[in-house]
Amino acid sequence: MAKQEEVILREWDFGNNVDVTLSDLKNVLTDIVEATEMNLKVVQTNVQNMPVVAIIKNPSYMPVYHFFNGNSIIVAIVGKGEQVRAEDLEKLYNKAVCAWHSFQYAKNRGKSMAMRFGANGIAAGVSAGLTAATTMALKGGFKLAAKGVRALLRDQASWEREMEFYQDALGVGDFAIGAADTRGIIGKIKAQAEQDNPIAQYVLGMSYAEGRGVEINQEIALQWFEKAAANGELRSQSIIADEYLFSNNDYDSEYKEIAVQYLTNLADSGQTWAAATLLDIFSMGTVEGIAIDYDKTAEIAQKYAYQGHDYSAMVLAQLYDQSLTIDTNAIAKYKDDEKAASLYKSIVDAQQPSEYAEDAAFRLASMYMHGRGVEENLEIAMYYFECAAELGNINAIEILAEHYTLGDYAGIDNIKARKYVEELIRLNDEELLPMAYYCKYILADRAEEYRESMSAAQKYLTLPNADEEKKQEVAIYLTEQQEKISRMTDKERRAYLKEPPNRTWIKYLLIGVGILIVLAILIGIISIANDKEDEYLDCDGENVMNSIDEDVIYNPELYEGCESDFVFPESDQRYIDEYEVEYLTRTETQMAINEIYARHGRIFIDEPYASHFRACEWYTPYYSSEEFTDAWFNTYEQANIKLLANHRSKVEKDSSESTGSNNSVIITSEEEAIQYVMERENLFEDDTGDFENVHFVCEGYDGYEYHIWCYSDMGDHVTTLGRWTVTEDGEMQEIY
């Protein structure tokens, strides 16, 4: 084949934002061919192991291919901004003409030579001509040129017919993507449309809607779509139904009835969205001018529910169990709990996941719990509540937390209870928090984790919508615990509350060190303040500024020679380039941001930043976060903070998708925190050393730290094996 750049006839570009598939292309080309009644066919096949759409006339002509890459034989069409290419037929046929003349010359020369030597002149001429043509084709790689020679050998009419085919095929391709109407295709389509050809009417409507071969005119487009829809063209019926029901134009009831009929036709053809639209119209009144009609709703839902349409099944089930509307009198005649339960079960148990499975599972669980439409079965009810909870149903989570914590003895499950209680607390729903903290207090007391149980109990008393009777119970519990603890020795109290051993001498030592550090900082601040005060005096000692309303901590001279303390020593004097931050971890990026703040005296609390800057001689902690203002940053600093913050967000996003990217540990969920502890401590669930039935749970998340608990559940008692806090950055500390 010739080099690609030598065989470009057209450059068809769909644009960067258009996603064209082979199926789309085939449908468009088929519509145009059908609308123009061209004697062409559009097929989808494979060529050289590549999926293609081809325009063909008959097997004797080389097809016009439409590829999704640049390796086409004649025409290639692709989406997403890649160019659509065609072989230069004119050049190829010019080559064919040259081959024809070469053939004629060789034939005549061969004929004369044959006569001279007494051989068959025609046979020799043909042999020589084909040899010349084949040599030309091989050298140039133009297979089509050789084919053109064979066409010429037949007759001129064959040549012209084949050329006409290629021109028609290319014209269809041009028109399909909105290029120039080189073959007068719009005229052919109009002629067919006026003869009531529905495909032609649809294509003509699209032409006016999108500006293919004509100027855009939505009014004319709508007229042709209306004619096509009336003739049964389903795509046009979809367009007209949308126009009559949901556009800003005002249509009377007659038009809306037509639209409803079109939607019914579409639903009958397998368009599930059309069935859903009809159900919404008649069950919720989504279209002005069409009243809610539960009989019509039931008719539509019954028609499609048993054809695998989940939404129809859900609406019908709600109709049967009287939950479709608060006006149960309007649907009383449809009440049938058994049918409702059967439909809910079919949605939940379907092999293909359904967006209605969460609601269906919760409703089915409630029916099993109360024996409505099915035989009462608490175990099955809990199973379906768990299905709903896994899909995010908060009411199911509350029921499970309460059941596994406060149910009868056979139903209590401490592990599941903790799971759902912590999830309930994480969701932070005001209405459900009282139940969550009440269950947490019960669970902790049951596990002899009295410090935790008292904390949960105190939290419960602060909640405004907590149950008054339970409040009294919790208050009595707290009082009894406090009285019990008050009678204990210090050692007994620490053992009872599972507090770490008393290290009083360490405490006083730390207090002493802390006092010394504070004194040193104060002395440093006073010294620097005196130095800074001198900076604002002239040579005679007179103050040259009456007041200082700007940042007085920032002084570039203070950190000259301390470049090793910085990620970017000159971030206040130049713009940082993107390539410089490309490989920074999250912590390094945050350090680079914080050092800009540190130059201006911002106080840090979080580690490792607080320790790092306290060790820097140039750093003066002066302003709290409330006192600090971004107005002190210069242009360089503002731009660099923005660049670094954007990179930090990217690192966090990448790390959440692939833990450990950018060489940093980022923990983004309770599951990741638990797994992190298990790997660091070399512990495993179910069996760890001398303990069995080992479990890990996340007891909470306070916006920075995850609190992990490891315990062994021996049935009659629970043994704590360890507690840890894990920060989002992967710092882990055991709690004693």
The DSSP annotation for 231-282 comes to TT-HHHHHHHHHHHHHSSS---HHHHHHHHHHHHHHHHTT-HHHHHHHHHHH
Dihedral Cα 455, 457, 462, 466, nearest 10 deg: 150
Say what the pLDDT of residue 736 is.
61
Q: Rounded mean pLDDT of 355-376? A: 95
Say what the pLDDT of residue 659 is.
43
d(CA 370, CA 36): 65
The token duo for 385 is 């509540």
Max mean pLDDT range (331-340, 507-516, 572-581): 331-340
Say what the pLDDT of residue 374 is.
95
Q: Is residue 391 pLDDT above 90, yes or no?
A: yes
d(CA 315, CA 360): 10
The token duo for 573 is 């004097």
The tens digit of pLDDT for each residue in 1-36 reads: 333 322 333 444 444 444 556 677 788 889 999 999
Say what the pLDDT of residue 647 is.
85
Q: Rounded mean pLDDT of 163-189? A: 81
Q: Is residue 448 pLDDT above 80, yes or no?
A: yes
Residue 18 CB neighbours (<10 A): 12
- The separation between the first and the last C-alpha atoms of the chain, rounded to the nearest angstrom, is 77
d(CA 83, CA 79): 8
Please tell me whether the peptide bond between 608 and the residue prior to it is cis, using omega within 30 degrees of 0: yes
Q: Rounded mean pLDDT of 261-283? A: 94
Q: Which residue has the higher pLDDT, 667 or 224?
A: 224
The phi, psi pair for 45, rounded to 5°, reads -155, -165
d(CA 665, CA 683): 19
Q: Is residue 138 pLDDT above 50, yes or no?
A: no
Say what the pLDDT of residue 158 is.
64
Q: Is residue 266 pLDDT above 80, yes or no?
A: yes
Local structure of 197: helix, strand or coil: coil
Report the share of the chain in percent with pLDDT over 90: 32
Q: Is residue 299 pLDDT above 90, yes or no?
A: yes
Q: Which residue has the higher pLDDT, 608 or 89?
A: 608
Q: Rounded mean pLDDT of 73-87? A: 34
Say what the pLDDT of residue 125 is.
42
The tens digit of pLDDT for each residue in 345-354 reads: 999 988 888 8
The token duo for 284 is 């919720």
d(CA 585, CA 566): 15
Q: Which residue has the higher pLDDT, 362 or 462?
A: 362
Q: What is the DSSP letter of 502?
A: P
Local structure of 32: helix, strand or coil: helix
